[in-house]
């Protein structure tokens, strides 16, 4: 995947003076196969791109490099999550990730009051919950998921390169009938613990106070 492509959205001042990151997400021109590969034409040419995740305080690109891309069709909202990583770790079990695991945190909030949160691991594990106003919390899983890595999982003796998550979030879990001009509020964060170093995090659509500032509109 070409990691030198810039974000193709804009930064605006939103309600209450909050800085927002806006992306227009195109409809996929062909079926998306969630296999963790990044060579499908739509991911390369038309997908909405966050660009490099940034440190929430300095707003400088975080190290190591992380980014996300988005597409949609009538069935689902699609995520492609990319992580450069020299030491890929994923030891979490059924209850969630372990400290130091390599994960992406994903949140989406709809205008209809649905809030969906998920943690995507480099191993392919997903821990997800969805909340609706006045209803109990519900677990959920992507309708399709693929993870691809270039490296050896949980082996600090060698240097790894990268890992990718490709996931489909079905519209029915969000209670949405998708169409052009549908708006979602999205936040993404990725934390990494390099060898012999402290954990570092980068994000898109989340400010230093943890507020969701990413706004995507279907096109």
Question: C-alpha angle 213/24/72, rounded to 5°?
Answer: 105
CATH of domain 12-218: 2.60.40.1190
pLDDT by residue (tens digit) across 158-187?
888 899 999 999 999 999 999 998 999 999
- Edge to edge, the sheet with strand 144-150 lists 48-49, 66-72, 76-84, 162-170, 144-150
How far, in Å, CA of 166 to CA of 153, rounded?
A: 18
Region 101-112: mean pLDDT is: 95
pLDDT of residue 158: 86
Residue 85 has pLDDT above 60, yes or no: yes
Residue spans per domain, the chain: 12-218
Give the pLDDT band of residue 149 (cuts 50, 70, 90).
very high
In this prediction, residue 11 carries a pLDDT of 76
**Looking at residue 9, what is its pLDDT?**
72
What are the pLDDT digits (tens) for 41-63? Answer: 999 999 999 999 998 778 889 98
pTM recorded for the entire structure: 0.92
pLDDT at residue 10, rounded to an integer: 78
pLDDT at residue 95 greater than cutoff 70:
yes
DSSP label of 45:
H
> What are the percentages of helix, strand and coil residues in the chain, rounded to 5?
5, 45, 50
């Amino acid at each position: 995947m070409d990691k030198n492509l810039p974000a193709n959205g804009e930064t605006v001042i939103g309600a209450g003076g909050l800085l927002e990151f806006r992306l227009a997400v195109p409809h996929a021109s062909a079926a998306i196969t969630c296999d963790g590969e990044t060579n499908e034409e739509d991911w390369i040419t038309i997908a909405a791109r966050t660009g490099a995740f940034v440190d929430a305080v300095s707003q400088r690109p975080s190290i190591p490099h992380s980014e996300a891309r988005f597409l949609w069709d009538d069935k689902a909202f699609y995520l492609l999550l990319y992580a450069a990583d020299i030491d890929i770790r994923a030891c979490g079990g059924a209850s969630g990730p372990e400290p130091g695991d390599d994960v992406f945190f994903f949140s989406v909030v709809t205008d209809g009051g649905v809030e969906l949160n998920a943690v995507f691991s480099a191993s392919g594990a997903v821990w997800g919950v969805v909340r609706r106003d006045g209803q109990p919390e519900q677990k959920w899983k992507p309708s399709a998921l693929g993870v691809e890595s270039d490296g050896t999982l949980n082996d600090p003796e060698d240097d790894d390169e990268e890992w990718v998550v490709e996931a489909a979030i079905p519209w029915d879990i969000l209670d949405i009938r998708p169409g052009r001009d549908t708006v979602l509020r999205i936040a993404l964060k990725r934390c990494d613990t390099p060898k012999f170093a402290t954990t570092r995090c980068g994000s898109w659509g989340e400010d230093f106070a943890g507020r969701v500032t990413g706004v995507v509109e279907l096109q």
